[in-house]
Amino acid sequence: MSKIMLASGPVIVTDGKVLLNKHGEDTFWKFCGGRVKDLNQEGLIAAAQREAQEEIGAKVEIINPVPFILHVVRIINGEEVDIILAHYLAELLPGQEVTPGEDIREVAWLDLEKLDQEDLGPNIRPTLKHFGFLG
């Protein structure tokens, strides 16, 4: 029997660039976001906003309340885990500065036209395509 993990995060695109980070031991770029901590206390949008504050030090506004949902299966600590990712289109609130959180090694605005040159998480391209940023 596999476990289920529900995760949520914002997709922030401005002026043809997407905000991505490298987190923990990962060598690839990914959206900020993470696990919904308590399904009875925190919804998907609140989790996406919390994760933005934790990972990039900024408050975001969700500009599209309909998420792009993606399902992947990973082996974590020897167990199969169904991971359901909810990505929300968002923007930084005015005056917010991006500052990497304690677990974030690097944060960057990557040019959408040059993403094929980058090592990206498997959810990046499908999500950006869904929201109309990639063909």
Predicted confidence band at 83 (pLDDT cuts at 50, 70, 90)?
very high
Contact 33, 60 (CB under 8 A): no
> Does the residue 135 lie in any domain?
no
CATH of the domain at 32: 3.90.79.10
The Cα–Cα gap between 74 and 109 comes to 27
* Number of domains observed in the structure of the chain: 1
Report CA Rg, the chain: 14
> Any idea which residue has 């770029």 for tokens?
29
Note down the domain range covering 71. 3-130
pLDDT digits (tens, 9 = 90+) for 86-134: 999 999 999 999 999 998 999 999 999 999 888 999 999 999 999 999 9
Amino acid at site 45: I
